[in-house]
Chains A and B, each alone.
Chain A
Amino acid sequence: MGNKLAVSWITFACCEDSSIIFVEMLNQHFFEWKDKLEFRYCRLLKGKGNDFEGTDVAFVEGAIATAADEAKLKEIRAKSKRLVAIGSCACIGMPSAQRNNFDEATRREIMLVAERFGHLEKVHPVKDIVKVDYTVPGCPMDERLFLDVLGKCLAEFGVQ
């Protein structure tokens, strides 16, 4: 067995639909990916040793809604060689960014909660905060496009 691609999967503000699609794609790809991928940080799959350090490819699902998320995303970017925006919320912000379009009365209604939990003024797609190398759009992510991007990353890092 050769080297593996060190991947991380993290979610921010979203419904985690693409995480679910990923878990359903395991039905067909589990044993292939188990040989080719090493999960550095993936809380959906493992309890111990979740760490971004040494990540080749970070899959980032969800939009950036809070200051804490923004800081986390920057940390992940710094620790990952490639970063992939996964699903609609990560790629374009929506629908998690729906509050950006609220009228003044609705904004006032949500203000207390937003302030209390450190929400940013606007919800952002990932590319607003850090450099994005690849995108897998779709709500949930398009499975075929995910396979394309994963294939590109495997080739780039020389994982057979």
Chain B
Amino acid sequence: MHREGEFDIDIDHLSKIEGHADLEVRVKEGKVQHARLKISEAKRFFTQGVRGKSCLNVAQLVSRICGTCSIAHLSCCIEAVENALGITPSEQTKLLRNLTMDGLMVRDHAMHLYIFCLPDILGADSVLELADRDKSLVEKALEVKSAGNELSKIVAGKSVHAPFPSVGGYTKVMTNEQAKEMAHTLTHAREHAIEFVELFREKLPVFERKTHFIALTNPNYEYIGGEICSSEGYCVSRANFWEHLDRVVVPYSQATGFEFEGREYMVGSLSRMNLNKDALHRETKKDVANCLPLFPSNNIYMNNLAQAIEIINGMDHAIEKLESWDFKPEPYKTPAVKAGSGIGVIEAPRGTLYYALKTNEAGMVDYINLVIPTAQNHQNIEKDVAKLVQNDIDAGAKGQDEISMDVEKLVRAYDPCMSCATHFLKLKMKETGRAMPKKSKARNPWTFAEEGAR
């Protein structure tokens, strides 16, 4: 028997998220002692696996780090390799890359919002249950999701592990006819996507905790290019991002956490909206005008409204490009390789994704290092969970089962991705026999191999 005010919440395998994670909260005398997010995915050791492989092929391998945001890994790795090799892609390639990211945002956000979150906000356990209550709502959700999936297929060849994007260009370019047809499909689905923005705006719960937000920002609210900015009001160049990071080794989890300037932070749609809402596509701004004053926000559930808005933004950017660009076949030329080092930074659906990569003279990868969005959110999620549970206890109205459900919804609002978070080899394991996280200054992105060898 537990004494009054003393209980544990243990959630084994959180549901309706990408991958495997457990959550542990300890409460003593009515006070939360700790909240721990334990990512239980088995590591697959990609940072080691890519070594010695051709830099022209590794993007297809790292794509396999994550099923749902494979295109983000592919795009970011290609950017890092091109920077290492000194390649400047053609204007059409740049446009196709942005279109590829637009498709990813629409498909991935739609999956998270409609399949995982929508049941939460409408009081159902699953989208299957929801369909019994409101068939047409689910039909609309599937149409939006399908439009994102089709966009990825047409531009990149597939929506998961896309074959066309390559170092130096695209191995196949869509036709103008396909582009026009795709624009039409998107325009139709867009009407439903706007209805979902309204639904999320009305129904989202509130949980606020002051934190800070980091995102790559640029003048067109796109997901490639720009500077890394913080809600504290300053920006760092992509080359210097690492100098501001602390790596937090989390002994009970198969993933690493990060802090920015010694503090937890959040990356993802909410960060992008908080920092860059003025740069949304003009058509998006017109149709979600009543949502814009709600940002910046410290309410983590607003991450889901931000995702709903980014679906429209992705569609509007895509429609404009598909309707205005004259797509021409561009024969793919295998690029010349050389020794070099390059950094890639993009905004993945779940936040800023960072790649650092070194090639040797034969064009083989000597070294790769990554910073993953969910790893960056790890500390923030734990602090939010601790505060949410404390709030629930203080309010005194909820039983443990309800608190447990609240916690799961909160974690889900982040749209965490465990497959991504665990690829990364934890360092200095010998020193972390204790249960508390251990911080270390990350120094620079190129020290991983040396530290790992210790």
Binding site for B on A (CB under 8 A): 11-21, 23-24, 26-28, 30-31, 34, 39, 43-48, 50, 65-66, 69, 95-96, 98-99, 102, 106, 109-110, 112-114, 116-117, 119, 139-140
User: CB distance A21 to B125 under 8 Å?
Assistant: no
User: CB distance B145 to A27 under 8 Å?
Assistant: yes
Q: Which residues of B contact A34 (CB under 8 A)?
A: 128, 131
User: CB distance A96 to B16 under 8 Å?
Assistant: no
Q: Which residues of B contact A28 (CB under 8 A)?
A: 146
User: CB distance A20 to B67 under 8 Å?
Assistant: yes
**Taking the complex as formed, is B443 at the interface, i.e. its CB lies under 8 A from any CB of chain A?**
no
User: CB distance A95 to B61 under 8 Å?
Assistant: yes
User: CB distance B41 to A13 under 8 Å?
Assistant: yes
Q: Which residues of B contact A98 (CB under 8 A)?
A: 44-46, 49
Bound-state CA distance A17–B46 (Å) is: 16
Q: Among B70, B119, B146, B430, which residue has its beta carbon within 8 angstroms of that of A15?
A: B70
User: CB distance B430 to A47 under 8 Å?
Assistant: no
User: CB distance B419 to A16 under 8 Å?
Assistant: yes
Q: A24-B160, A112-B429 are in contact. List 9 more A-B contacts (CB 8 A).
A: A12-B42, A16-B19, A16-B419, A19-B67, A24-B149, A34-B131, A69-B42, A96-B44, A113-B429
Q: Which residues of A contact B145 (CB under 8 A)?
A: 24, 27
User: CB distance B160 to A95 under 8 Å?
Assistant: no
Q: Among A20, A21, A24, A39, which residue has its beta carbon within 8 angstroms of that of B128?
A: A39
Instruction: Please report which residues of chain B, range 31-54, place their CB below 8 angstroms from some CB of chain A when the two chains form the complex.
Output: 41-46, 48-49, 51
**Taking the complex as formed, is B272 at the interface, i.e. its CB lies under 8 A from any CB of chain A?**
no
0/1 per residue, B143-159, Cβ < 8 Å to A?
A: 10110010000000001
User: CB distance A45 to B67 under 8 Å?
Assistant: no
Q: What is the chain B residue whose CB lies nearest that of A39? A: B128
User: CB distance B146 to A43 under 8 Å?
Assistant: no
User: CB distance A27 to B142 under 8 Å?
Assistant: yes
Q: What is the chain A residue whose CB lies nearest that of B426? A: A113
Q: Among A21, A39, A43, which residue has its beta carbon within 8 angstroms of that of B16?
A: A43
Interface residues of B, count at CB 8 A: 51
**Taking the complex as formed, is B138 at the interface, i.e. its CB lies under 8 A from any CB of chain A?**
yes
Give the distance to chain A from B251, nearest Cβ to Cβ, in Å: 8
User: CB distance A140 to B161 under 8 Å?
Assistant: yes
0/1 per residue, B118-136, Cβ < 8 Å to A?
A: 0100000111110100010
Bound-state CA distance A153–B425 (Å) is: 40
Q: What is the chain B residue whose CB lies nearest that of A46? A: B126
User: CB distance A119 to B419 under 8 Å?
Assistant: no
Q: What is the chain B residue whose CB lies nearest that of A62? A: B42
User: CB distance B125 to A17 under 8 Å?
Assistant: no
Q: Which residues of A contact B15 (CB under 8 A)?
A: 43-44, 46-47, 50
Q: Among B16, B68, B453, which residue has its beta carbon within 8 angstroms of that of A20?
A: B68
Give the distance to chain B from A83, nearest Cβ to Cβ, in Å: 20
- Contact of A47 with B48 at beta-carbon distance under 8 Å, contacts A15-B64, A39-B128, A117-B254 already known: no
Q: Which residues of B contact A12 (CB under 8 A)?
A: 42
Q: Which residues of B contact A14 (CB under 8 A)?
A: 44, 67, 419
Bound-state CA distance A62–B65 (Å) is: 12
Give the distance to chain A from B181, nearest Cβ to Cβ, in Å: 17
Q: Which residues of A contact B161 (CB under 8 A)?
A: 17, 139-140
Q: Which residues of A contact B452 (CB under 8 A)?
A: 109
**Taking the complex as formed, is B107 at the interface, i.e. its CB lies under 8 A from any CB of chain A?**
yes
0/1 per residue, B426-444, Cβ < 8 Å to A?
A: 1001100000000000000
User: CB distance B142 to A30 under 8 Å?
Assistant: yes
0/1 per residue, B64-102, Cβ < 8 Å to A?
A: 111110100000000000000000000000000000000
Q: What is the chain A residue whose CB lies nearest that of B253? A: A117
User: CB distance A15 to B16 under 8 Å?
Assistant: no
Bound-state CA distance A135–B62 (Å) is: 24
